[in-house]
Amino acid sequence: MKKILIISTLAILLFSCGKKEDNANIDALISSKNVKELQAKKALIQADLAKIDDALAILDVKKEEALVSVLTVKDSVFSHYLEIQGSVNTKENILVQPEFQGTLVALNVKAGQRVSKGQILGRIDDAGLSQQVASLENQYALAKTTFERQKNLWDQKIGSEMQYLQAQTQMISAQRGVAQIKAQLSKTVIRAPFTGTIDDVFVEKGQVVAPSAQGLMRIVNLSNMYVSTSIPETYIGKLKVGTEVDVLLTSLGKTYKGKVRQIGNFVNPSNRSFGIEVSVPNPENLLRPNQVANLKITDYINKNAVVVPTNVILEDGQKNKFVYIVTNSNGKTGIAKKVIVKPGQSSNNITEVLSGLSAEDIIVTEGANAISDGMKLNF
């Protein structure tokens, strides 16, 4: 403001003193169309302006100043995350179905009970299959003995080959009959397909059971949990098996460390995405199938990145991205300098700067919109 007042005062004094004479001389020169004299007059005026500038310099007019906040840039680890929602699930969550229709004569478990793989959960009336097994086993034993005797005779070149082959065929047929009836009988025994917990039981002992939509009971294993979700196809090549993932369960208020265990090989044409599965540890058994999970998947990391707050990066009229740094720093003062930068990816209001800044540069973080290149800064 002081500079403006001094300039105005000097200008008034200069032009008021010789206004009439100068105007007359200038008008006369213009009318005469004397180029040399006009150029000489211009030089005199420019010399007067130079004297004014020198006077201002001697008076040490104070430049404009601004109060700002600053931050020293440091090398740091920068990670970019893809945030997406998924659903908790487990492949070991099934409805146990009977393989044999009949009366449930034994029910050995109840809801909430822990069971091991292969453990007998119940039995269905075999409708006489066990008696058939005993009968067929007797027939097989007889056929086997007959074959062995016939074989001994055949080895001694006694008897015909036809008798030997018939005995062998009868023995094999009886053996297969026993195996078949035993396979049917095994279906009357209901076993746990994997280690887990009986979540619910839908039948009672003595009830006639058969395969149905409801099943006999639900068994769940919570030790092999995962989160399934779909990822935009633009991330193909950025993810790999083993990539670490932060899994936030808002319903529990907990974050788990998971890893990508499977990446789909098919892109859904309707939404241009592919599926992934993220394994999640469940040491406290708090995870449940169909819970909603928020995933933060690391798709880029730079261990020596120059990063700045995203809001300090400005844009000029030529669409150049820039920041203000502090030069000639002296304690709590310095001079603003505009620096063109090339920003990279952004995450959590932090942006990586690929070029234009170096570690230990001091950047303006607050007040950048009110300053200009060369302005004196206080911080």
The closest of 215, 294, 304, 303 to 248, measured between CA atoms, is 294
Mean pLDDT lowest among 22-26, 134-138, 215-219, 372-376: 22-26
Q: SS3 letters for 316-340?
A: CCCCCEEEEEEEEEECCEEEEEEEE
Q: pLDDT band at 23, cuts 50/70/90?
A: low
pLDDT tens column, 87-109: 999 989 999 999 999 999 999 99
Give which of 277, 349, 275 is closest to 88, Cα–Cα: 277
pLDDT digits over 35-91, tens only? 777 777 788 888 878 777 667 655 544 457 889 999 999 889 998 888 999 999 998
Q: Which amino acid is at 164?
A: Y
Q: Name the pairing type of β-strands 376-378 and 65-67.
A: parallel
Contact (Cβ atoms closer than 8 angstroms) between residue 317 and residue 338: no
Whole-number pLDDT of residue 3? 43
- Give mean pLDDT, residues 181-209: 93
pLDDT at 62: 47
State how far the Cα of 257 lies from the Cα of 244, in Å rounded to an integer. Answer: 7
Query: What does the DSSP assignment read for 253-272?
Result: TEEEEEEEEEE-S--BTTTT
Report the 10 Å Cβ neighbour count for 288.
Answer: 17
Which tokens in the block code for residue 344? 């990279």
- Ramachandran region of residue 140, left (φ > 0), alpha (ψ -120 to 50) or beta? alpha
pLDDT number for residue 58: 57
Q: Between the CA of residue 193 and those of 121, 233, 309, 331, 369, what are the distances in Å?
A: 10, 36, 54, 73, 67
Strand partners, 377: 66, 334
Dihedral of CA atoms 193, 198, 199, 201 in degrees, nearest 10, equals 100
Alpha carbons 70 and 307: distance in angstroms, whole number: 14
Q: Percent of the chain, pLDDT > 90?
A: 57
Q: Are 377 and 333 in contact (CB under 8 A)?
A: yes
Q: Please give the average per-residue pLDDT across 202-220, as a whole number.
A: 92
Percent of the chain scoring above 70 in pLDDT: 90
CB 90 within 8 A of CB 196: no
Among 34-43, 108-117, 130-139, 272-281, the least confident range: 34-43
**pLDDT value for 13:** 44
pLDDT at 52: 77
- 3-class secondary structure, 208: strand
pLDDT reading at 6 higher than 50: no
Q: How far apart are CA 275 and CA 338, in angstroms?
A: 45
Segment 236-240 long-range contacts (CB within 8 Å, at least 24 positions apart): 236/267, 236/274, 238/299, 238/300, 239/263, 239/276, 239/297, 239/299
pLDDT at 171: 93
**What whole-number distance in Å separates Cα of residue 344 and Cα of residue 356?**
12
Look at residue 236 and tell me whether its pLDDT is greater than 70.
yes
What is the Cβ-side half-sphere exposure of residue 31, based on CA atoms within 13 angstroms?
6
pLDDT the model gives residue 21 = 54
- The mean pLDDT value of the chain amounts to 86
Least confident window among 6-20, 165-179, 312-326: 6-20
Residue 136 in this model has a pLDDT that exceeds 60:
yes
Element (H, E) at 280: strand 273-280
Token duo for residue 116: 């091991």
pTM recorded for the entire structure: 0.57
**What is the structure's pLDDT at 170?**
92
Q: pLDDT band for 24, please (50, 70, 90 cuts).
A: low
> Is residue 154 scored above 90 in pLDDT?
no
